[in-house]
Structure 1
């Protein structure tokens, strides 16, 4: 697999030691960026994982409050190799993310491969040879960018998506792909003499519903993984029959769908995944519907139109108790929602109160921590601060 470097930093990245790399990278950002007092040594037992990508201020991320950053997304090409669509842009982003280790040397940087609508996985997982090619490309990417591991976000094995190829045998081939990746990643860790927490990581993003478990062998898959990031959000969305909590902790009264964070975690536990390997996903955005039946303040009601996706910063600026949108709290589901009676618009989202309930849930269940999508949706880090307070302090 070939990588073309388009910047000086990208060209020297694989050859620099970690200390020298951090020094070189830090020259490109303000000196005040370095603050030795902000280094977080207590990174156990809970993980706090940010998905990040696209154009954003990476150097402003609260690295001291994070244990892992998953850079999203790399893709799978027609040859079954992992690649970046815009390699020079991604190289610059990864260089900026590597620089964050000056604030938190324990921070782990992974590249997430896939995402919604990403094709190529079914072909890459199809045979021993294709799995080897895919795994070797993962090793090439880890080595080239100085990564701490790879996160696989195949949405979803054995199930149709937007123009995505899928096969019935994806169920077994997904397991074999993870086995191949684990063997290659462990071999690289051994080659480098890495031990304990310094060994290279293999993780996945998993779904919250029963169909995902019917099309995968999670009882086997998890044995090859360091941990699993559960996408416990988007339970109610554009194709749902009614409005609802898209990332509720528990089912609301009268809820018949019963897709919740709690039910998602239970499915993973029933698959034999150890609690410490399970990372709870939270949403830094809202989902909305309009032309909603006004009964029950729009909750669990039929609707006329999909209203849209709204990042948390915009919710704070324009929606929460503003412009006719009133915040309500569902104490059964432990989830907030917005209702605009005038426009009959309903919005589901996570906020500080719901995240405090989720961090308590994580602690009570002995789970592995929290991850969130997506860091750019809350640049003030209001919700990251809540996760940090709930899990680290």
Structure 2
């Protein structure tokens, strides 16, 4: 590897399911990769759910290479809502071959650079109704082997490197249900979804770098990364997840401090994204921003309305980027681009990796 390749990757997930992409909104020069979310799994094949829209989006994304010729474009297959058919699609050798071919045919046809698999989750329940079975553990690895073979064929045809990556759970049970040490051999990057770390009992952080002393929880990005390395994944392939969106909770009427207090309900749980938070809520309208210095994670608490919001801000992103550089990780990825329209967090990533 040339030393130039050692610069951390910055992978942005860009959604196509919300409609046509406006490429003017994307700062292509600040990204190394765009993962287009999502491609469905249907009849054991990778399947474009809205071929007209997706085809147009691929065309538009390809124009970003005029701004950044090194930009790599990948299709991301699956996601939370479209992972129910993975288990069936990769159950046998011939099914895996067919699935791999269908995935690679999409990038062949649309002149893209790789395939990202976001299976939530092999051998364990993701969304209700998902098919999962014990055999997923081995089939997960074998699926990557099949896709890699198809990508090698495409590399020979085009003379260009084709990538295979995956988005994985940033928690230990993901590792007990997969063979990441084996699977990594076929993968260029492993994008750790080090977010959505929250419980339904007490208000915690959803995307913390380290453990909090105020609120004890099993999960943090640091814990996940250490566990993946222990499972045999090289640190240079590990990509840390950053959340461009927040998690909103309504706390009990006796909540005093936010973090660690009892949850009453989730309130508009997914939120409007970081640009909205920064411009409209942080230290405004009764929302006070606090920093959990141990966890390197911010949160907002409104003492009047008892609303609690967990998110990433510039300070937490700077800490994550510093961790990536110090531990020689592959880089960072984020979900998802349109949640921070003004690019506050992406600008911080750029600054941190300069």
Question: What range describes the TM-score normalised by the shorter chain of this pair?
Answer: over 0.9
Cα distance, 1:293 vs structure 2: 6.1
Q: Given the alignment, which residue of 137, 142, 154 partners 2:102?
A: 137
CA-to-partner distance for each residue in 1:227-282, whole Å, 9 max, x for gaps?
1000000011xx53211110011111143323011111111111111111000000
Counterparts in 2 of 1:197-346, with a 5 A limit?
Answer: 199-236=161-198, 239-292=199-252, 297-307=257-267, 308-310=269-271, 311-346=273-308
2:30 is matched with which residue: 37, 62, 65? 65
Q: How far did 1:60 drift?
A: 2.6
Contact 2:275 2:343 in 1 (8 A): no
Please tell me whether residue 115 in structure 1 is matched to residue 76 in structure 2. Answer: no
Q: Residue 185 in 1 paired to residue 145 in 2?
A: no
Which residue of structure 2 lines up, in the alignment, with residue 162 of structure 1?
A: 128
Distance 1:293 1:208, change over 3 A: farther
Name 1:51's counterpart in structure 2: 13
- The alpha-carbon deviation at position 294 of structure 1 amounts to 5.1
Query: What are the ranges of 5 or more consecutive residues in structure 2 without an aligned counterpart?
Result: none
Question: What's the CA shift string for 1:58-117, capped at 9, x where partnerless?
Answer: 233111110000000001112x11111111111111111100000000000001000002
Secondary structure at the aligned position of 2:266 is classed as: strand
> What runs of 5+ residues in structure 1 fail to find an aligned partner?
1-41
Q: What's the counterpart of residue 68 of structure 2? A: 104
Indicate conservation of the 8 Å contact 1:48/1:67, yes or no: yes
Match of 1:153 among 118, 125, 132: 118
Which consecutive aligned stretches of 4+ in structure 1 deviate over 3 angstroms post-superposition?
A: 292-296
In the alignment, structure 1 residue 174 sits paired with structure 2 residue 140: yes
Equivalent residues of 2:209, 2:320 under 8 A apart: yes
TM-score (norm 1): 0.85
Aligned to 1:89: 53
**Cα deviation code 1:293-332 (max 9, x no counterpart):** 6556110221111121111122123311111101111111
Contact map agreement 2:287 2:301 (CA 8 A) in 1: yes
TM-score by length of 2: 0.94
Structure whose alpha-carbon radius of gyration is higher: 1
Secondary structure of the residue aligned to 2:128 is coil
C-alpha separation in 2, matches of 1:332 and 1:94: 42
Distance (whole Å) between structure 1 residues aligned to residue 134 and residue 246 of structure 2: 33
**CA apart distance, 1:138:** 1.3
SS at match of 1:135: helix
